[in-house]
Amino acid sequence: MYVIVDERPIVRDGYVANFFREGVSSVGLLSSDFEDWLQTAPATDLDAVQGFLLGECEQRSDWPELIQRRSRAPIIAMIETRCLTETLQLFRSGIDDVVRKPVHVREILARTEAVWRRTQREAEKDIAVADRTARLKVYFDGRDPDIDGEKIPLPRRERQILEFLVRNRGRRMTKEQVFNAVYGAFTDDVDESVIEGHISKLRKKLRQKLSFDPIEVRRYLGYAFVS
């Protein structure tokens, strides 16, 4: 799920629609609503955030510190015109990346994943991580994963679940957290139980190719991608 913050409805609604066309859940918020949500949202909602996209809003430079207290997700700022002073000030405030409008959501997705890769690079070098699951490569950019170089076609929801669990490797994620990541924390027209069916099918496919199940399931506790 992406969170878009901008005072202009046309910008918020436009990016929400563009993310939807790419099969990615998102929500657009006014700055006042965003600050209230950031301070009160449960951890299950914040863990579902893949990235924060901050557009036109006065408090933008104040938010990175607040966001980083509650979320590990990358923070990207959108600016209207190229301005070195503004760009440097945004980076100093803690923004992870700065882009100039108009920018395609595919570029936003790619830049977000680049930030995730940098922050997780050390973990990926860990010997405990790079063992049996090293055969599985997940791309995080809309491409299907592959095992031993062979592409594994997955429905969009299964692929998004796999990406979410791999990104949170070793962490126990509840059904609610997985649902929020895939369908969005503000979705109320889809039953949360669909996650069980998606994960059951995903585990079967991975087990057939890897000869073991990389997704550990604990009743009432949730799911974890394990080595």
96 and 138 in a common domain = no
Which residue, of 110, 134, 166, is where some domain finishes?
110
Residue 97 shares a structural domain with residue 162: no
Per the structure block, which two tokens stand in for 91? 């980076």
**155, 221: one domain:** yes
Residue 105: name the closest of 141, 79, 64 by CA.
141
Per residue in 68-103, pLDDT (tens digit) is: 999 989 999 999 988 899 999 999 999 999 999 889
Cis status, amide bond into 102, omega within 30 of 0: yes
Helix axes 63-70, 31-40, angle to 10 degrees: 30
115 assigned to some structural domain: no
Whether residue 118 lies inside any domain: the answer is no
The structure's pTM equals 0.78
Q: By residue range, what is the domain housing residue 92?
A: 2-110
Is the same domain home to 31 and 96?
yes
> Per the structure, how many domains does the chain have?
2
CATH number of the domain to which 153 belongs:
1.10.10.10
Tally the residues of the chain.
227
- Alpha helices, DSSP H only, in the chain? 9-21, 31-40, 43-46, 63-70, 84-93, 105-125, 156-167, 175-183, 194-210
15-53 confidence digits (pLDDT tens): 999 999 988 999 999 998 998 999 899 888 898 899 999
Residue 51, φ and ψ in degrees, nearest 5 = -170, 155
Q: Which of 110, 144, 170 is the last residue of a domain?
A: 110
Same domain membership, residue 104 and residue 187:
no
128, pLDDT greater than 50: no
CA distance 52 to 24: 13
183 part of a folded domain:
yes
Q: Coil, strand or helix: which one is 223?
A: strand
Q: Are residues 100 and 10 in the same domain?
A: yes
What gap in Å lies between CA 194 and CA 24, rounded to an integer? Answer: 17
Average pLDDT over residues 137-156: 90
Kindly state whether residues 66 and 143 are assigned to the same domain. no
Cα–Cα distance measured from residue 71 to residue 168, given in angstroms and rounded to the nearest whole number: 13
